[in-house]
DNA sequence: CGCGCAGTTGAACCTGTTCAAGCACCGTGG
DNA sequence: CCACGGTGCTTGAACAGGTTCAACTGCGCG
């Protein structure tokens, strides 16, 4: 079941300009945002697919379109001149990217897994803001959620230790009401996790090994983690 | 001169429920956001003053009102259970706080200097979103700007060295087109700066001393910094 | 005058980085 | 089928940037 948007009912009209109708395992994370489609903008929508690693847009590109993730995982990041990179977010289906930006994108968006997105011309945002209250509300909610996530991550990156960060990351990837034994998938590589948490690959690896040694988690494979002791994991995460 | 809001003209009606009509030195920073008042909401506005250090709202409080800063500097922060604190933002006049939050505030807002704010009931936001396109646009812009700032700060805190952070901070507090000799005021204490940059007080102090020794800045007083060599400061900041 | 707070400076320590090597998995090609 | 090379992950050991703890300074204010 999907949480409906706040207070305002959406027409049940579905976008029909494509066939990629999300049905994947990774959609488990962060379903806080409403799952409505941007139906009223359907006529100007365009479906696009990206291979693993492909760029959807880059920092500095003209921001003439916004994108709704339908399938796969997208990575938002910023890179400094000397190559230091900060991953801002991993975006999963039903979320929108490119909304913050004005004329120019302020971050790079790349597909972490093969991904399908729907893009809308940026102008349609303004149109919606003026005339379509429901969509305006949806966009507003999206922005608010993004802002809140950024703030949480600022605390994570600014004030938590490496172990706390990794533990927090695992819990973020788990269900809200995760129970012991739950399996968490990590579709992104260690480098992505490291740049998300603002530590090095080695530190991530060491933390995971430590958790494994302590019996907090099990690792069937590098991309898959089983939460063995969520209680203690929460403890380590400082939550 | 103040930058007008995006595309849509505002009625020139001014809020008259108070007498604190912003005229201060600290308004130099970040005038990127539009400076329109939330005029259409005037009838439900309420002016409030806060002493230095006073809390406007706290993390976890019911978020029944939003606030527009009129005068002074407000600090937004989150604190972990064990006391570690992350300052999320310093908010100066013409910006709005409390907008991200849903039913409950996700951060604490406190006055860094004596401050005057105008508060509006949260419900008026929904009202505006539905009926008042101009105000909706204003709020949207505010949220977008906040999201972008968060992302920039995430890179700052996640991927920059202590010296880079402090240098960046000084430049952020300066005019966009600052020239050598420009004076920057630091109304907040070292502890606030430290928690904003996610370092310790000592590190901030050392960086400033280093910059002073190198002739990049001068310090007439602890709260006031003169930028002596902006070029090199930019260099240190990595910009 | 003396207390108290904010900021600065110094020195030891520690967490996470850096550099370097080793390992496991996997698709390719012989 | 297995050798091969590549990539991504893990592990180890030395290093370093920033923290921590502690002392000192300077200034405002009772």
Residue B7, domain member (yes or no): no
In DSSP terms, B118 is beta-bridged to B47, B68
pLDDT of residue A41: 64
Q: Give the end of a domain, one of B113, B128, B157.
A: B157
pLDDT of residue B69: 97
When pLDDT is cut at 50, 70 and 90, the band that residue B22 belongs to is very low
In DSSP terms, A71 is beta-bridged to A116
Does at least one atom of strand C sit less than 7 Å from the CB of B199? no
Residue A2, domain member (yes or no): no
Q: What is the mean pLDDT of residues B161-184?
A: 95
Residue B15, domain member (yes or no): no
When pLDDT is cut at 50, 70 and 90, the band that residue B38 belongs to is low
CB contact under 8 A, B81 and A238: yes
Both B127 and B194 in one domain: the answer is no
Label residue B180 exposed, middle or buried (CB < 10 Å: 0-12, 13-18, 19+): exposed
Residue A16, domain member (yes or no): no
Q: Give the end of a domain, one of B124, B157, B190.
A: B157
Both B94 and B129 in one domain: the answer is yes
We report the CATH number of the domain holding residue A39 as: 2.60.120.10
Nucleotides of C strand lying within 7 Å of any protein CB atom: 6-11, 15-20
When pLDDT is cut at 50, 70 and 90, the band that residue A43 belongs to is low
CB B211 within 8 A of CB B236: yes
Lowest mean pLDDT among A108-117, B12-21, B203-212: B12-21
User: Does residue A66 surpass a pLDDT of 50?
Assistant: yes
Both A138 and A208 in one domain: the answer is no
CA dist A113 and A71 (Å) reads 9
Count CA within 13 A, CB hemisphere, residue A46.
Answer: 9
Q: What is the mean pLDDT of residues B23-27?
A: 32
Q: What is the mean pLDDT of residues B186-201?
A: 98
More confident residue, B36 or A231: A231
Average pLDDT, chain A: 85
Lowest mean pLDDT among A43-47, B148-152, B196-200, B220-224: A43-47
Of B85, B101, B140, which has the smallest distance from its Cβ to A129's Cβ? B140
CA dist A174 and A78 (Å) reads 25
pLDDT of residue B20: 34
User: Does residue A48 surpass a pLDDT of 90?
Assistant: yes
pLDDT of residue B233: 97
Phi, psi of B232 (to 5 degrees): -70, -30
Both A34 and A144 in one domain: the answer is yes
Q: How many CB atoms lie within 10 A of CB B190?
A: 17
Residue A225, domain member (yes or no): yes
We report the CATH number of the domain holding residue A204 as: 1.10.10.10
Both A35 and A134 in one domain: the answer is yes
The total number of structural domains that make up chain B: 2
Both B42 and B127 in one domain: the answer is yes
pLDDT of residue A37: 65
Residue A20, domain member (yes or no): no
Both A34 and A123 in one domain: the answer is yes
Both B189 and B121 in one domain: the answer is no
Which residues on chain B are in Cβ contact (under 8 Å) with A108?
Answer: none
CA dist B153 and B149 (Å) reads 6
pLDDT of residue A60: 97
User: Closest residue of A to B100, CA-based?
Assistant: A144
How many A/B residue pairs have CB atoms within 8 Å? 111
When pLDDT is cut at 50, 70 and 90, the band that residue B134 belongs to is confident
Q: Which helix (H) or strand (E) holds A222?
A: none
Both B175 and B123 in one domain: the answer is no
pLDDT of residue A18: 33
User: Does residue B224 surpass a pLDDT of 50?
Assistant: yes
pLDDT of residue B43: 67
CA dist A235 and A168 (Å) reads 10
CB contact under 8 A, B144 and A78: no
Both A151 and A164 in one domain: the answer is no
Residue B19, domain member (yes or no): no
State whether residue A235 sits within 8 Å of chain B by CB: no
Give A189-219 pLDDT, tens digit per residue.
999 999 999 999 999 999 999 999 999 999 9
Q: Give the end of a domain, one of B157, B181, B204.
A: B157
Average pLDDT, chain B: 85
Give A85-128 pLDDT, tens digit per residue.
999 999 999 999 999 998 999 999 999 999 999 999 998 888 88
Give A24-33 pLDDT, tens digit per residue.
233 344 444 4
Joined together, the tokens standing for residue B184 give 């920057």
pLDDT of residue B77: 98
pLDDT of residue B185: 96
Joined together, the tokens standing for residue B44 give 């439900």
Which residues on chain B are in Cβ contact (under 8 Å) with A144?
Answer: 99-102, 143
pLDDT of residue A160: 98
Terminal alpha carbon distance of chain B: 27
Both B134 and B180 in one domain: the answer is no
Residue A126, domain member (yes or no): yes
Q: How many CB atoms lie within 10 A of CB A4?
A: 12
User: Does residue B203 surpass a pLDDT of 70?
Assistant: yes
CB B159 within 8 A of CB A82: no
Q: What is the mean pLDDT of residues B200-229?
A: 97
pLDDT of residue B112: 97
Which residues on chain B are in Cβ contact (under 8 Å) with A238?
Answer: 80-82
Does at least one atom of strand C sit less than 7 Å from the CB of A200? yes
Strands of the sheet containing A96-97, edge to edge, are A46-50, A115-121, A65-71, A96-97
Of B187, B191, B174, nearest to B226 by C-alpha is B174
Both A148 and A171 in one domain: the answer is no
User: Closest residue of A to B103, CA-based?
Assistant: A6
Q: What is the mean pLDDT of residues B155-166?
A: 98
Length of chain A: 239
For residue B173, the enclosing domain spans: 161-237
pLDDT of residue B106: 97
Question: Which residue has 């300009």 as its token pair?
Answer: A17
Three-state DSSP at B167 gives helix
pLDDT of residue A38: 67
pLDDT of residue B21: 31
CB B97 within 8 A of CB B67: yes
User: Does residue A159 surpass a pLDDT of 50?
Assistant: yes
């Amino acid at each position: 079941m999907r949480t409906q948007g706040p207070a305002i009912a959406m027409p049940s009209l579905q976008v029909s300009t494509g066939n990629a109708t999300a049905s994947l395992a990774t959609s488990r994370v962060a379903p806080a945002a409403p799952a409505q489609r941007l139906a009223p903008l359907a006529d100007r929508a365009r479906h696009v697919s990206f291979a693993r690693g492909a760029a959807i847009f880059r920092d500095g590109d003209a921001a003439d379109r916004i994108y709704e993730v339908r399938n796969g995982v997208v990575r938002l990041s910023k890179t400094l001149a000397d190559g230091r990179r900060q991953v801002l977010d991993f975006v999963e289906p039903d979320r929108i990217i490119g909304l913050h930006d004005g004329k120019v994108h302020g971050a790079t968006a790349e597909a972490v897994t093969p991904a399908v997105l729907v893009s809308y011309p940026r102008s349609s945002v303004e149109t919606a803001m003026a005339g379509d209250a429901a969509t305006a509300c949806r966009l507003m909610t999206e922005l608010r959620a993004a802002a809140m996530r950024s703030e949480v991550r600022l605390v994570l990156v600014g004030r938590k230790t490496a172990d706390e960060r990794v533990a927090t990351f695992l819990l973020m990837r788990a269900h809200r009401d995760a129970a012991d034994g739950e399996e968490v998938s990590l579709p992104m590589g260690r480098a992505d996790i490291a740049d998300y948490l603002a530590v090095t690959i080695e530190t991530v690896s060491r933390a995971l090994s430590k958790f494994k040694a302590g019996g907090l988690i099990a690792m069937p494979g590098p991309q898959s983690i089983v939460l063995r002791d969520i209680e203690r994991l929460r403890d380590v995460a400082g939550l």
